[in-house]
Structure 1
Amino acid sequence: MCLIAVNRTDLIKSYKNTVEEFNQTINSLQDKYTRVMIEKDQLQNNFNSLSQKKLELETRVNNLTAEKSQLQSNFNSLSQKKLDLKIFFWLGNLCGPVCYFISNELKSWSDSRQYCRDQGADLVIINTEEKQVSLFSERVWIGLSDIENEGNMTWVDNSAVNQEFWLEEEPNNAGGNEDCIELMPSETIKNWNDLPCSENRKGICEKYTVKNFL
């Protein structure tokens, strides 16, 4: 009987030790869990904060991009107006009775003429040597064509040509469709060339009054 009592005592003591170990393990795990949850909350807060900053930065980037686009649009608009209104050269006094300006876009002869007309002008008529010498030496449309009557060159005001400044062997109506006249770079005063009206060139515009032009 005593042996059985001793064994029960040892067994109870062993159980108590085991329970204590379990409790310690549970407490340790609970502490670790608590620390992990605190760290998780901190990380979640950091994540939320970073997400908010990310959204704020994205909003700022979008706003700056929109502002940049608007500024670029304004700049392009102002640049266009500057180019459209810029006087490149003149005869006599500043614009005198006649202003000359050059379009900034490459267009067909008809579109170039329409551009000039939209500015209250027309493609230039070159009826004097003084005028011919004064104009830019670059490939540009002038107001001369035989669109209305093949072989009969006339200016945009329907006047006839009284002085000609053709390049050598021009006009040649190559291909049978060269009805519009351009001014080409040349070492001499003679720099007119006929070519298809659909080709894209700048155009020299001529305006007989500066009123309301600028």
Structure 2
Amino acid sequence: MKTARIKSGKEFAIGKILCIGRNYVDHIHELGNELPAAPVIFMKPASSVISDGESIVIPAYSNDCHHEGELAVLIGKTGKDIPLDEALEHVAGYGVAIDLTLRDVQGELKKKGLPWDIAKGFDTACPLSDFTPAEQIADPQQLQIRLSVNGEMRQDGPTSLMINPVREIIRHLSTIFTLEPGDIILTGTPAGVGRIISGDKLVAEIPGVARVEVSVAL
């Protein structure tokens, strides 16, 4: 069983990992996508999670795996059709995640109009940090997402640039899914995504909140 750990010591069994795509304009432009009329939602299984110090294993069916650093939100209490002004009350903690994407596989599946779960949900596709208790974060829209590969900064963007802020993401998701303790929301990635290869060392960090360091298996 995969667990999400809050730095205060409490642990949650990981449930649904709900991911928001195309939530930063610059990232949308760098991939040549259109601005969405509503949040783009996809999921990762709990089995895709790895922790600090573990290794990414790029599947043999891909030759173009990309990193996407993201603010991760851990849900702490059950909610359905959550009002916007109550959304953040359902958050137990904030962390950082890397949404790994097999860009070549995703591209081919999208061309055919097929689901792209295998490009997003493979084993090791979700490096995830521990979580800082929500009450210690004054505003999740005033954080900085940074990701480096082999010491080179590739992503460095503020959460203030989200098209859909955290409270709106929670409100919207709760109209579709019942949110439960242990569910994790990945809130989208800023510009600067890029390919990783065997031997690379990745560090994703939100200063003052969370950090996760992983490497790509040889």
Task: Provide TM-score, normalisation by structure 2.
Answer: 0.22
Task: Provide TM-score, normalisation by structure 1.
Answer: 0.23
Greater share of strand residues, 1 or 2?
2
The structure, 1 or 2, with the larger RCO (C-alpha pairs under 8 Å, 6+ apart) is: 2
Greater share of helix residues, 1 or 2?
1
